[in-house]
């Protein structure tokens, strides 16, 4: 092959996307819809972690657990069905049916039909502007790294010698664990702990700090109390010493709590201590891209140290590892690549939800974060127990907590309770538009809905005005005119 022929064989798309997860697929589909040439490289399953091992299967499992719990709660409403019988193999089938129903939207066939050149191979940079994938060489105008993340495995003595689960293997179980130990009290750990408990497993959570430590501690404690009420053994502020395997295949974890060493033995172990960015074997050094063990370093516009390359989603060092963040990043990158319009990530408008029962949703600053930032704040609360719809559905556990700054500007909102993940959407809009409590006070919520909880919290901000002497004198004056 002559050098001229070899050069002509090089693919020269406008955009090369590495990673076929949610963020990468968003970039590829959107760019292709504008008629832009796109190469998408994915070495594993299309849809990435979210579809195959993360959001989709976990929420499908949680849905099954909710149905089981609804049967247990039915006698409160005068409906009797007895203790639910769990067919764990059927639960597993349900999970994979859900994945199968969504998979065509993320498939190679669909993206090729959209005009995307999909390459199923491992990608690696050979220099600052060239990627090799399989037998293909790609020299794109811009590259987008959307390589996602993988389960982080802690350095625990003996862990490599025992069988343990991560989110990548958990959803292959067709037999219900007798007893599940969960190492890690973050969102993944607590969601899976509660779901398995409600499906009939004994569950122990081992957390070296406190559960849901990144959330408002007041709201997180409400979730913790519910987990304990469900019968989950929650052990916080412990030191994990070692893991060992029993002759019957069981797993034991030795730990220290309050200065005393003890251990717990179970049939299964789930490691859920967070995620690590996928940066291995990408040739990042050859491409001149700065990275470390946390991920790829980017500026506020998500551009790497190589001006041709952007990084999005879980691959970003210190980033927020959520599917909706990857999609948000995709939009910011497309804005810059396609339209040459500057874009900047704004984390204050990104909501997050832990899908336990009750759900815990947060956007913006927590109370502690607002105080540390030097804001003068007020806290407005309203309990679910004072909402008529919550009473009717016996969902009275929880509250909304609004952090407001000067002149009632909304700085952050936390909701713990039924439907919190849906309700947080209103406050995501409120923060993105820099709304105030007066704006919330003015909107009309249909009755009876749980959305009224937020409005009642906003109205309570203005309650002290009714007791001010000036206001009362003004009203008395105005009454003179009939």
pLDDT digits (tens, 9 = 90+) for 297-316: 999 999 999 999 999 999 99
**Residue 179 backbone dihedrals phi, psi, to 5 degrees:** -145, 125
Q: Are residues 363 and 444 in the same domain?
A: yes
Q: Are residues 378 and 292 in the same domain?
A: no
Examine residue 82 and state whether it is found in any structural domain, yes or no: no
User: Which residues carry a binding-site annotation?
Assistant: 59, 147-149, 184-191, 207, 274, 314
Q: Are residues 186 and 326 in the same domain?
A: no
Query: Which element (helix H / strand E) includes 368?
Result: helix 367-372
Q: Are residues 136 and 164 in the same domain?
A: no
The total of other beta-carbon atoms located within 10 Å of residue 183's CB is 24
Q: Residue 358: pLDDT above 90? A: yes
pLDDT digits (tens, 9 = 90+) for 149-160: 999 999 999 999
Q: Are residues 333 and 445 in the same domain?
A: no
Short-list 128, 114, 100, 104, CA closest to 40: 114
The arithmetic mean of pLDDT across residues 33-60, rounded, is 97
In Å, how far are 232, 312, 368, 432, 480 from 186, measured between CA atoms? 15, 22, 19, 26, 61
Q: Residue 429: pLDDT above 70? A: yes
Q: Are residues 144 and 32 in the same domain?
A: yes
Are 150 and 275 within 8 A, CB to CB? yes
* Lowest mean pLDDT segment, chosen from 25-39, 175-189, 205-219, 460-474: 460-474
Whole-number pLDDT of residue 356: 98
Examine residue 217 and state whether it is found in any structural domain, yes or no: yes
Are 364 and 405 within 8 A, CB to CB? no
Our measurement of the distance from residue 16's CA atom to the centroid of its chain's CA atoms, rounded to an integer in Å, reads: 26
User: Which residues carry a binding-site annotation for NAD(+)?
Assistant: 184-191, 207, 274
Examine residue 458 and state whether it is found in any structural domain, yes or no: yes
Q: Are residues 132 and 212 in the same domain?
A: no
Whole-number pLDDT of residue 6: 52
Examine residue 393 and state whether it is found in any structural domain, yes or no: yes
- Number of structural domains found in the chain: 3
Give the span between the Cα atoms of 326 and 341, in whole angstroms.
Answer: 19
Q: Residue 280: pLDDT above 50? A: yes
* Lowest mean pLDDT segment, chosen from 5-14, 84-93, 99-108, 384-393: 5-14
Whole-number pLDDT of residue 381: 97
The arithmetic mean of pLDDT across residues 116-141, rounded, is 98
Q: Are residues 409 and 289 in the same domain?
A: no
Pairing of strands 130-133, 123-127: antiparallel
| pLDDT band per the 50, 70, 90 thresholds, residue 353 | very high
Helix pair angle (22-33, 323-339), 10° resolution: 30
Whole-number pLDDT of residue 465: 74
Q: Are residues 438 and 392 in the same domain?
A: yes
Short-list 244, 277, 247, CA closest to 263: 244
**Residue 226 backbone dihedrals phi, psi, to 5 degrees:** -70, -40
The arithmetic mean of pLDDT across residues 159-175, rounded, is 97
In Å, how far are 138, 162, 248, 250 from 245, measured between CA atoms? 47, 5, 8, 6
Given the structure tokens 């973050």, which residue do they identify?
186
Q: Which residues of 38-49 are buried (b: 16+ CB within 10 A; e: fewer)?
A: bbbbbbebbbbb
Are 191 and 180 within 8 A, CB to CB? no
* Lowest mean pLDDT segment, chosen from 76-80, 114-118, 353-357, 440-444: 440-444
In Å, how far are 94, 109, 322, 361, 413 from 351, measured between CA atoms? 28, 32, 10, 7, 9
Q: Are residues 320 and 422 in the same domain?
A: no
- DSSP for 55-105, please give it: HHHHHHHHHHHHHHHHHHHGGGGT----SPP--HHHHHHHHHHHHHHHGGG
Are 385 and 412 within 8 A, CB to CB? no
Which CATH number is 430's domain given? 3.30.390.30
The arithmetic mean of pLDDT across residues 105-121, rounded, is 98
| pLDDT band per the 50, 70, 90 thresholds, residue 248 | very high
Q: Which residues of 192-227 are buried (b: 16+ CB within 10 A; e: fewer)?
A: bbbbbbbbbbbbbbbbbeebbeebbebbbebbbebb
- Please state, rounded to an integer, the average pLDDT across all residues of the chain: 96
Q: Residue 253: pLDDT above 60? A: yes
Three-class secondary structure of residue 147 per DSSP: coil
Examine residue 99 and state whether it is found in any structural domain, yes or no: no
The arithmetic mean of pLDDT across residues 276-301, rounded, is 96
* Lowest mean pLDDT segment, chosen from 1-5, 42-46, 67-71: 1-5
Give the span between the Cα atoms of 116 and 424, in whole angstroms.
Answer: 35
Three-class secondary structure of residue 465 per DSSP: helix
Q: Which residue range is the domain that position 454 belongs to?
A: 351-467
pTM over 0.75: yes
Whole-number pLDDT of residue 1: 47
The arithmetic mean of pLDDT across residues 113-138, rounded, is 98
Out of 274, 298, 323, a domain closes at 274
Q: Are residues 132 and 7 in the same domain?
A: yes
Examine residue 314 and state whether it is found in any structural domain, yes or no: yes
Q: Residue 38: pLDDT above 90? A: yes
Whole-number pLDDT of residue 7: 56
| pLDDT band per the 50, 70, 90 thresholds, residue 5 | very low
Q: Residue 222: pLDDT above 60? A: yes
User: Which residues carry a binding-site annotation for FAD?
Assistant: 59, 147-149, 314
pLDDT digits (tens, 9 = 90+) for 399-427: 999 999 999 999 999 999 999 999 999 99
Q: Residue 4: pLDDT above 60? A: no
Q: Residue 467: pLDDT above 90? A: no
The arithmetic mean of pLDDT across residues 204-213, rounded, is 98
Which CATH number is 265's domain given? 3.50.50.60
Out of 345, 375, 395, a domain closes at 345
Examine residue 335 and state whether it is found in any structural domain, yes or no: yes
Q: Residue 91: pLDDT above 60? A: yes
In Å, how far are 15, 17, 34, 50, 287 from 339, measured between CA atoms? 13, 18, 11, 29, 25
Q: Residue 101: pLDDT above 90? A: yes
pLDDT digits (tens, 9 = 90+) for 468-478: 888 788 888 88
Rounded percentage of the chain residues whose pLDDT exceeds 90: 93
CB proximity list for 239: less than 8 A, separation 6 or greater: 208, 255, 256, 257
Whole-number pLDDT of residue 393: 97
Examine residue 74 and state whether it is found in any structural domain, yes or no: no
Out of 259, 274, 289, a domain closes at 274
Q: Are residues 132 and 163 in the same domain?
A: no
């Amino acid at each position: 092959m002559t050098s001229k022929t070899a050069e002509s064989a090089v693919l020269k798309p406008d955009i090369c996307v590495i990673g076929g997860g949610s963020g990468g697929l968003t970039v590829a589909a959107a760019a292709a819809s504008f008629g832009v040439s796109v190469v998408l490289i994915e070495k594993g399953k299309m849809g990435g972690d979210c579809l195959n091992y993360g959001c989709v299967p976990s929420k499908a499992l949680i849905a099954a657990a909710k149905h089981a719990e609804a049967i247990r709660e039915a006698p409160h409403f005068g409906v009797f069905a007895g203790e639910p019988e769990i067919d764990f193999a059927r639960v597993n089938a349900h999970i994979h049916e859900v994945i199968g129903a969504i998979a065509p939207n993320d498939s190679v066939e669909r993206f090729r039909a959209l005009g995307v050149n999909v390459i199923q191979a491992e990608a690696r940079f050979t220099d600052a502007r060239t990627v090799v994938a399989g037998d293909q060489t790609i020299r794109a105008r811009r590259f987008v790294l959307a390589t996602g993340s993988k389960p982080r495995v802690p350095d625990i003595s003996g862990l490599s010698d025992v069988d343990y689960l991560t989110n990548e293997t958990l959803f292959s179980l067709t037999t219900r664990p007798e007893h599940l130990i969960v190492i890690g009290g973050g969102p993944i750990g607590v969601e899976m702990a509660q779901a398995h408990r409600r499906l009939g497993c004994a569950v122990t959570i081992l957390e070296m700090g406190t559960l849901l430590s990144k959330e408002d501690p007041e709201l997180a404690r409400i979730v913790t109390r519910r987990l304990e009420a469900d019968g989950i053994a929650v052990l916080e502020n412990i030191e994990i010493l070692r893991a060992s395997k029993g002759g019957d295949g069981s797993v034991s974890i030795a730990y220290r709590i309050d200065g005393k060493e003890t251990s717990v033995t179970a049939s299964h172990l789930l490691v859920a201590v967070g995620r690590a960015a996928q940066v291995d074997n990408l040739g990042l050094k050859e491409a001149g891209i700065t990275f470390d063990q946390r991920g790829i370093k980017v500026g506020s516009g998500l551009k790497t140290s190589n001006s041709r390359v952007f990084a999005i989603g879980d691959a970003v060092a210190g980033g927020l590892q959520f599917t909706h963040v990857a999609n948000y990043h995709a939009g910011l990158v497309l804005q810059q690549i396609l339209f040459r319009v500057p874009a900047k990530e704004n984390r204050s408008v990104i909501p997050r939800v832990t899908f336990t029962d009750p759900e815990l949703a947060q956007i913006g600053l927590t109370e502690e974060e607002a105080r540390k930032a030097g804001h003068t704040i007020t806290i407005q609360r309203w309990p679910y127990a004072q909402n008529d719809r919550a009473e009717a559905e016996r969902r009275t556990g929880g509250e909304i907590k609004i952090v407001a700054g000067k002149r009632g500007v909304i700085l952050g909102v936390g909701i713990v309770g039924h439907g919190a993940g849906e309700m947080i959407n209103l406050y995501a809009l409120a923060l993105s538009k820099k709304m105030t409590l007066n704006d919330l006070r003015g909107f009309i919520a249909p009755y009876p809905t749980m959305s009224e909880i937020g409005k009642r919290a906003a109205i309570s901000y203005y309650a002290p005005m009714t007791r001010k002497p000036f206001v009362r004198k003004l009203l008395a004056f105005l009454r003179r005119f009939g």
